[in-house]
Amino acid sequence: MPTIDIFPMGQIDDFLAYRLACCLEERFLFKFQVQRTQPFPRFAYNNIKKQYFAPAILKKTKNIRSEGSGYAIGLVDVDIYGISNNFIIGETNVSDGVALVSLCRLKPDFYGHSSDDDVLFQRALKECIHELSHAMGLKHCYNRICVMHYSTNIFDIDKKRNLLCSECLRRMKEKVGHPQGKKADDTLS
């Protein structure tokens, strides 16, 4: 069974990273290992946009992942953007098995609300499951409450559950040989 590395980058709270690792282990049935915090790659910063370029951070995540780890996910606390997007929450390189999630736009205070660690955790968990499922070969889902549903805004993320629907669970079984989660009744209908 492969290990999945979690790489905090920047000012990620250790408690949040370890809490995510525990919940992700339960969902994927893989061992998750939180690695030491990494600095941001300076070359990923775009001074004009005041954001970090996600594909560059993904490349760093790929290069620092542990020997023998099956997948890796980077956690960042800065605003990121992609090739054709002004901003993104997460990004995945399927061929390399690496994913990235930014906490920046998942924080309630980004939208002018009070800081709430539980809301941040739930959003981060959904996005980590979503991006890692992409890394394992899953595509977006049309079921609006499935974690693999494409989110266009924070409200979409809040509406989703942190589980795969039955169709995505079936596809996950085909891709990695076991269900995402311990019980079949943990799925969405």
Q: Residues 27-72: pLDDT tens digits?
A: 998 899 999 998 888 889 999 999 999 999 998 888 787 777 789 9
At 86, the pLDDT band (50, 70, 90 cuts) reads confident
User: Are residues 7 and 20 in contact, defined by beta-carbon separation less than 8 angstroms?
Assistant: no
Q: Tell me the mean pLDDT in the region 141-170.
A: 95
**Per-residue pLDDT at 178:** 62
- State the pTM of this model: 0.91
Q: For all residues of the chain together, what is the average pLDDT?
A: 89
Q: Say how far apart CA 37 and CA 103 lie, in whole Å.
A: 15
Q: Tell me the mean pLDDT in the region 161-171.
A: 94
Q: Residues 170-181: pLDDT tens digits?
A: 999 888 876 554
Q: Say how far apart CA 114 and CA 111 lie, in whole Å.
A: 9
Q: Residues 103-116: pLDDT tens digits?
A: 999 999 999 999 99
- Domain 3-103+116-176 superfamily per CATH: Collagenase (Catalytic Domain) (3.40.390.10)
Q: Does the pLDDT at position 25 exceed 50?
A: yes
Lowest-pLDDT choice from 19-23, 30-34, 144-148:
30-34
Task: Pick the closest to residue 92 from 75, 73, 76 (CA basis).
Answer: 73
C-alpha angle 79-59-28 in degrees, rounded to nearest 5:
80
**What's the one-letter identity of residue 70?**
G
Percent of the chain with pLDDT over 90: 71
| Helix (H) / strand (E) containing 155 | helix 154-159
**Per-residue pLDDT at 176:** 81
**Per-residue pLDDT at 118:** 97
Task: Pick the closest to residue 93 from 60, 67, 118, 120 (CA basis).
Answer: 60
Task: Pick the closest to residue 178 from 162, 164, 159 (CA basis).
Answer: 164
- Just list the catalytic residues: 131
Q: Does the pLDDT at position 141 exceed 80?
A: yes
Q: Say how far apart CA 120 and CA 16 lie, in whole Å.
A: 9
**What's the one-letter identity of residue 157?**
I
Q: Tell me the mean pLDDT in the region 163-171.
A: 94
Q: Is 56 left (phi over 0), alpha (psi -120 to 50) or beta?
A: alpha
User: Are residues 99 and 66 in contact, defined by beta-carbon separation less than 8 angstroms?
Assistant: no
User: Are residues 149 and 142 in contact, defined by beta-carbon separation less than 8 angstroms?
Assistant: yes
Coil/strand/helix, residue 167: helix
Task: Pick the closest to residue 99 from 68, 137, 67 (CA basis).
Answer: 137
**Per-residue pLDDT at 1:** 61
